[in-house]
Amino acid sequence: GEEVAQTPKHLVRGEGQKAKLYCAPIKGHSYVFWYQQVLKNEFKFLISFQNENVFDETGMPKERFSAKCLPNSPCSLEIQATKLEDSAVYFCASSPKGYALNSPLHFGNGTRLTVT
Amino acid sequence: DQQVKQNSPSLSVQEGRISILNCDYTNSMFDYFLWYKKYPAEGPTFLISISSIKDKNEDGRFTVFLNKSAKHLSLHIVPSQPGDSAVYFCAASNTGKLIFGQGTTLQVKP
């Protein structure tokens, strides 16, 4: 499609439960990025993919967060054993060429995760 | 360590006037700067970008200025319109990571 599609829009989980977020990038875009926005503050980079390969995962909390981009499937971000501090809006973005000047990121509308 | 800073959380401007949004950065290795606009409950949308080898880029009502010696960039919107009311994020990149500022909420009053 022509838009980055993120599902679900809202997700509520009890502390300790698993959360799984999905992202369908724009068709033809080979780079996918995940960002976390807490309390409307700046966006924290989590991880990026080039096709199904991890490109940069320096922002990922190693212990409970994982992500995948498999062929012919939406990309996913999974949080095991959620904590209150994981409450945030998670944005997915895609681009055709990574961080090139003429290839800006196209963002989805985000998934709002609330951990209670 | 906040590498990209937007020190003004909010800005209010009259319709038709110029809006100037500012952004400072600390990493001299950044080679690519962008501005994104964000409405509530939506993702950021790309507005305009500039390479570090340039000092100005213009696109319609939007102009981005880059002052490398001061590590400062600004977004000028002229004339401002009520539909420009949104949160504006500046962002910078070097080796593949896009770093965002905290955002400035622009309100354009009719």
Q: Which tens digit of pLDDT belongs to each residue from A7-43? A: 999 999 999 999 999 999 999 999 999 999 987 777 8
Residue A103 is predicted with a pLDDT of 75
Whether A61 has its CB under 8 Å from any CB of chain B: the answer is: no
How remote is the C-alpha of B23 from its chain's centroid? 7
How remote is the C-alpha of B17 from its chain's centroid? 17
Mean of pLDDT over chain B? 94
Instruction: Measure the CA–CA gap between A55 and B8, rounded to whole angstroms.
Output: 33
How remote is the C-alpha of B15 from its chain's centroid? 19
Instruction: Measure the CA–CA gap between A106 and B43, rounded to whole angstroms.
Output: 8
Contact between residue B105 and residue B40 where contact means Cβ atoms under 8 Å apart: no
Count the Cβ atoms, other than its own, within 10 Å of residue A114: 14
- Label residue A70 by pLDDT band (50, 70, 90): very high
For A84, list phi and psi in degrees, rounded to 5: -55, -35
CB contact (8 A) between residue A56 and residue B98: no
Residue A99 is predicted with a pLDDT of 66
Instruction: Measure the CA–CA gap between A31 and A112, rounded to whole angstroms.
Output: 22
Whether A89 has its CB under 8 Å from any CB of chain B: the answer is: no
- Label residue A100 by pLDDT band (50, 70, 90): low
Whether A42 has its CB under 8 Å from any CB of chain B: the answer is: yes
Chain B residues inside the 8 Å CB shell of A106: 46
Q: Which two tokens stand for residue A106?
A: 């196209």
Residue A42 is predicted with a pLDDT of 75
Instruction: Measure the CA–CA gap between B77 and B60, rounded to whole angstroms.
Output: 9
Q: Which residues pair with B23 in a beta bridge?
A: B73
Listed range (B7-16, B35-44, B96-105) with the worst mean pLDDT: B96-105
Chain A residues inside the 8 Å CB shell of B2: 42
DSSP A26: P
Instruction: Measure the CA–CA gap between B29 and B27, rounded to whole angstroms.
Output: 5
